[in-house]
Amino acid sequence: MSKHGNGYCRATYRCFDDKADFSKKAASIAVGLTVGSWTELPEAKKVEMEKHLGKVVSVTEYEAGGSPSSERCADIVIDYPDVNFSRDIPALLVTVFGKLSMDGKIKLLDLDVSDGFRSAFPGPKFGVPGVRDLLNVHDRPLLMSIFKSVIGHDLTGLKEQFYRQALGGVDLIKDDEILFENPLTPLEKRIETCMEAARQAQAETGQRLLYAVNLTGPTFKLAENAKRAVAAGANALLFNVLAYGYDALYELSRDPGISIPIAAHPAMAGAFYPSPHYGIAAPLLLGKLMRLA
């Protein structure tokens, strides 16, 4: 994730309006999401509050027909002081885009966090290089296949599906993201069954394979369930990050007892990024923030 020094986290927005003074809009955001008001403050109070005040970095205006979306808009960049929020992603997001997300046509395009904020996060335990090392594949794209039509099937049917996928030469197989804990394919049994199929396939193909089992359950049981999965022999996890929140992913990724890769599923992302006018841009939503967590 890009880093921004000097004790500020930098947010970039795209704001759409046919008539607005975008410079005034930017100033109102910088003040409104930090100290609340500025011009009315006595000079002595301003000195005290200066360290909390958001700062407008730039406003780049585009007239209709000449903008990235053919509408009149502006890209607004604002720095938010680290002193205003704790070192967690929920605090950062609520600061830079909490109530602002409901204030007309405005989209959060990017975030560049400060060195201080970034230092609170360990980042991915494996990343792409680490996954490649686990699979011993360094000279080609990785190939993943996906379980489908597994709800209502028992372990025998699951194993057959898995085995056939593994024989096809894939590097990763992930659970269907809507396969939750159930009596037909409970977590430990599902892992044991699929990992046995993986070993059988590897004996024929010579190819290593990661099975990303879906990590589910109430939030307060996620770490416990992840450790159950590890104990049962899981070598990867699938996690629906946006349903649970970035902080849930952070808690899992920083836990030393969860020592396997976590694959972030984009479920629910369509509620956030597709609109050009609202939400959070996909590279930030699905890229930067997930890797930071």
Indicate which CATH number applies to the domain containing 62. Answer: 3.30.70.150
Average pLDDT over residues 38-56: 76
pLDDT higher than threshold 80 for residue 54: yes
CATH of the domain at 212: 3.20.20.110
**Do 96 and 147 fall within a single domain?**
no
CA distance 247 to 93: 11
Band of the pLDDT at 48, cuts 50, 70, 90? confident
pLDDT over 70 percentage in the chain? 95
pLDDT higher than threshold 90 for residue 23: yes
Strand order in the sheet with 144-146: 144-146, 172-174, 210-214, 236-240, 262-265
32 within domain boundaries: yes
Residue bearing the bigger pLDDT, 162 or 43? 162
Instruction: Give the chain as a DSSP string.
Output: --B--TTEEEEEEEEE-SS--HHHHHHHHHHHTTTS--TTS-HHHHHHHGGG--EEEEEEEE-TTSSTTSS-EEEEEEEEEGGGS-SSHHHHHHHHHTGGGGSSSEEEEEEEB-HHHHTT----SSHHHHHHHHHT--SS---EEE--S-TT--HHHHHHHHHHHHHTT-SEEE--TT--S-SSS-HHHHHHHHHHHHHHHHHHH----EEEEEP-S-GGGHHHHHHHHHHTT--EEEEEHHHH-HHHHHHHHT-TT--S-EEEE-TTGGGTSS-SSSSB-HIIIIIIHHHH-
pLDDT higher than threshold 80 for residue 276: yes
**Do 108 and 214 fall within a single domain?**
no
Per-residue model confidence (pLDDT) at position 38: 57
Specify the pTM.
Answer: 0.91
Give the model confidence (pLDDT) of 189-246 as tens digits: 999 999 999 999 999 999 999 999 999 999 999 999 999 999 999 999 999 999 999 9
Mean of all residue pLDDT scores within the chain: 93
Q: Give the residue from 73, 101, 118 where a domain finishes.
A: 118
CA distance 19 to 75: 15
Average pLDDT over residues 40-63: 83
189 is catalytic: no
Residues 99, 105, 159, 221: which is the catalytic one?
Answer: 99
Per-residue model confidence (pLDDT) at position 229: 98
**Do 178 and 234 fall within a single domain?**
yes
Domain region containing 267: 127-292
Q: Give the residue from 83, 98, 118 where a domain finishes.
A: 118
pLDDT higher than threshold 80 for residue 82: yes
Average pLDDT over residues 150-158: 92
CA distance 22 to 29: 10
**Do 154 and 287 fall within a single domain?**
yes
1 within domain boundaries: no
Per-residue model confidence (pLDDT) at position 6: 78
pLDDT higher than threshold 70 for residue 4: no
Per-residue model confidence (pLDDT) at position 122: 85
For residue 111, give Cα distances in angstroms to 2, 33, 92, 183.
8, 15, 10, 43
228 within domain boundaries: yes
**Do 105 and 178 fall within a single domain?**
no
3 within domain boundaries: no
Q: Give the residue from 97, 118, 139 where a domain finishes.
A: 118
Per-residue model confidence (pLDDT) at position 123: 86
Q: Fill in the amino acid letter for 207.
A: Q
Tally of domains in the chain: 2
CA distance 241 to 265: 6
pLDDT higher than threshold 70 for residue 143: yes
**Do 187 and 43 fall within a single domain?**
no
Q: Fill in the amino acid letter for 36.
A: G
